[in-house]
A and B are shown apart, each in its own frame.
Chain A
Amino acid sequence: MKLRRFLPLGIIFFLTLLCFCAPLIESARGIDSNMADLGSRFLPPSATYWLGTDELGRDVFLRLLYGGQVSLGVAFLAALAAGSLGTLIGMTAGYAGGKTDAVLMRLTDLLIALPALPLLIILAALDLEKLGVSADMAQAKYVSLYKIALLIALLSWTTLARLARARTLVLRQSDFVRAARALGVGHGRILLRHILPNIMNTVSVAVTLAVGGIILMESVLSFLGLGIQPPLPSWGNMLTHAEDQMWENAQLMVYPGMLIFISVLCFNFTGDALQDRLDPRNLERK
């Protein structure tokens, strides 16, 4: 029972660790994962290339690990940003009430209703230089990583904001908050010291559940060629050429998809289990 509950979390931890150990494995085996070698394209798995090589002769196993760094990194970054943004907006709306609440929640509802992926595609295609980012920075290797994380965060804070608002509305009326008010504690301090710690439970579960969706979003965008830009690998953009490769080298499209699937599944499992534990309706079982 215990083991089953910790298994998904354990897999995530192991995968993350493995991905971020990629440079160590790379130097230990003496292969450069970015080095294209057209003489050794589409090699089958061997002692040197554990999972074979891709269309440019690069080691698939190492590319998967580096891709995992990017995919998981974007997911953690975006989830953190969406969580902070959602909590901030939800807490502000719930605590301030009145017009502020109405405007913020109207915005949230609108964003929930909009088709996210088409919007994301438009946003991802924006020219950073026209937004005032210098040409050097716009061309930098890791810029697509931060851009995608930011964009996904901008579109996925809505559920979190609603949750944070609902909890804040309840807490605002509670005796301890009113007591703090009566003692003359400022609004900022009340939000930070009295309300925030009490909504962290709810928010962190929701963030865990959101990570899965974020990994999926990043993988779709990168698969379409609008997300993480090569040569930086991500599990999504490693599938971009899958349709051309599936006739002769179908194994290449199995690995990245499998890793996306497993990591999203583990996050959803963990989130679901946490949610079940916090849901008062499930108390009757115990």
Chain B
Amino acid sequence: MTPDILLPRLLQAFLTLLILSFLVYTLIGLMPGDPVDLMIAGNPNMTAEDAARLREIHGLDRPLLLRYGSWLAAAAAGDLGYSRLYGLPVLEVIGPRVINTVLLMGISLLLTVAVAVPLGVFAACRKNRAADRIIGFFCLAGISLPAFWLGLLLMALFSVKLGWLPAGAALESADVKIRALSMVMPVMTLTLAGMAIYIRHLRSAMIDALRADHIRTARAKGCSEPRVVWNHAFRAALPPLVTIFMLDLGTLVGGAMTVETVFAWPGMGKLMFDAVMGNDYNLALCGFLVLAACVLAANMLADILYTVLDARVAAGGKA
């Protein structure tokens, strides 16, 4: 992708984020209570006049647009403010959480791909036969399974009944073994819950790819079946898959969020949930913007990857 295509896309993503930040800023102002209410809640000596004065000092009585303007100016200078819940600058709270979420999603994504690729390709090769039907049924079941309930069931089985695995994430534990064991269930839940959708996409992409003329050519000139499937068909099915993977990231983040909450995994999803529950507006706002920025970046990456993977686009033609 040349810079003259990339630049407008970057600009567009930036503008989108700007609009989003305003929308979320407005929305968060509509949440119950305001910071001053929370400040004076624990102090019986405060009067209504004190509260009004505090609001004036902190600029809470100014119109929405002005408040947003000063928030944006500070944000542009790198100051996203403090988190009320944690008493730390927002960026310092978010930083480690992003890494934890990336860790969780990364491991389960690798596992997902490792399982979904062989199964999806296999199902496509056996289209409408018994094996395909069985895989198809389990995929439909996987899509219909509430991820949080799956997590709860696993927890009931492995932590309560068998006592093999710790029920919550223990990422800060000094013992490497406990840390690793505590990661098993969240990763397993996310993988099991996310796998089905990829197998289905892969299957239909492979079926389309196997129908193409160049496959018939490859078979006609005597290519072995595995070579036809992997080198010819799978290669052709890859570009649309990458797009689906990346576009699905928003859903994936949602899935990670539920799993994080169930297993108390200290990631972005848990953070957002705690922030909203604890009336920490600023943290919720920044958390959502960081998530949205990641997803938008992934979408852009998908476009770039597409041009690399798809020979027709890479050669300068239109796909």
Q: Using CB atoms and an 8 Å cutoff, list the residues of chain A in contact with chain B.
A: 110, 112-119, 121-123, 125-127, 130-131, 212, 216, 219-220, 223-226, 239, 242-243, 246-247, 250, 253-254, 257, 260-261, 264-265, 267-269, 272, 285
Bound-state CA distance A18–B284 (Å) is: 41
B257 CB-CB contact with A under 8 Å: yes
Nearest CB in chain A to that of B276: its residue: A125
| Closest-CB distance, A79 to chain B (whole angstroms) | 15
Besides the known contacts A117-B258, A122-B276, 4 further A-B residue pairs in the complex with CB atoms under 8 A apart: A115-B292, A118-B269, A122-B288, A224-B273
Tell me if A114 and B295 are in contact (CB < 8 A).
yes
| A126 touches which of B30, B144, B295, B299 (Cβ 8 Å) | B30
Tell me if A127 and B32 are in contact (CB < 8 A).
yes
| A116 touches which of B146, B251, B269, B273 (Cβ 8 Å) | B251
Segment touching A, from B112-120, B149-157, B310-318: B149-157
Bound-state CA distance A223–B258 (Å) is: 9
| B257 touches which of A118, A257, A268 (Cβ 8 Å) | A118
Tell me if A261 and B149 are in contact (CB < 8 A).
yes
Tell me if B276 and A246 are in contact (CB < 8 A).
no
Tell me if B16 and A110 are in contact (CB < 8 A).
yes
Tell me if A246 and B160 are in contact (CB < 8 A).
yes
Tell me if B140 and A268 are in contact (CB < 8 A).
yes
Tell me if A253 and B152 are in contact (CB < 8 A).
yes
Tell me if A242 and B27 are in contact (CB < 8 A).
no
Contact sample, A vs B, 19 pairs, CB 8 Å cutoff: A113-B250, A113-B295, A113-B296, A114-B295, A115-B257, A118-B257, A118-B269, A122-B24, A126-B27, A220-B146, A223-B148, A239-B148, A243-B152, A243-B167, A250-B160, A253-B153, A254-B153, A264-B146, A265-B141
Contact residues in B for A226 (Cβ distance below 8 Å): 276
Tell me if B27 and A123 are in contact (CB < 8 A).
yes
B253 CB-CB contact with A under 8 Å: yes
| Closest-CB distance, B307 to chain A (whole angstroms) | 19
Contact residues in B for A216 (Cβ distance below 8 Å): 144, 146
A-B residue pairs, 10 tightest by C-beta: A117-B254, A257-B149, A265-B144, A264-B144, A127-B32, A115-B253, A115-B250, A246-B156, A130-B30, A125-B276
Contact residues in A for B146 (Cβ distance below 8 Å): 216, 219-220, 223, 257, 260-261, 264
Q: Using CB atoms and an 8 Å cutoff, list the residues of chain B in contact with chain A.
A: 16, 20, 24, 27-33, 128, 140-141, 143-149, 152-153, 155-156, 160, 167, 247, 249-251, 253-255, 257-258, 261-262, 269, 272-273, 276-277, 284, 287-288, 291-292, 295-296, 299
Tell me if B291 and A118 are in contact (CB < 8 A).
yes
Bound-state CA distance A126–B292 (Å) is: 19
Bound-state CA distance A165–B152 (Å) is: 40
Tell me if A239 and B276 are in contact (CB < 8 A).
no
Tell me if B295 and A118 are in contact (CB < 8 A).
no
Nearest CB in chain A to that of B32: its residue: A127
Tell me if B276 and A121 are in contact (CB < 8 A).
yes
| Closest-CB distance, A267 to chain B (whole angstroms) | 8
Tell me if A126 and B257 are in contact (CB < 8 A).
no
Q: Known: A115-B253, A250-B160. Is A272-B152 also a contact (CB below 8 A)?
A: no
Contact residues in B for A261 (Cβ distance below 8 Å): 141, 144-146, 149
Contact residues in A for B155 (Cβ distance below 8 Å): 243, 246
Nearest CB in chain A to that of B19: its residue: A110
| Closest-CB distance, B252 to chain A (whole angstroms) | 8
Tell me if B149 and A260 are in contact (CB < 8 A).
yes
Q: Known: A121-B273, A239-B148, A261-B144. Is A115-B27 also a contact (CB below 8 A)?
A: no
Tell me if A116 and B152 are in contact (CB < 8 A).
no
Q: Known: A246-B160, A261-B146. Is A126-B250 also a contact (CB below 8 A)?
A: no
Contact residues in B for A260 (Cβ distance below 8 Å): 146, 149
Contact residues in B for A239 (Cβ distance below 8 Å): 148-149, 152
| A115 touches which of B16, B141, B276, B291 (Cβ 8 Å) | B291
| B30 touches which of A113, A131, A220, A267 (Cβ 8 Å) | A131
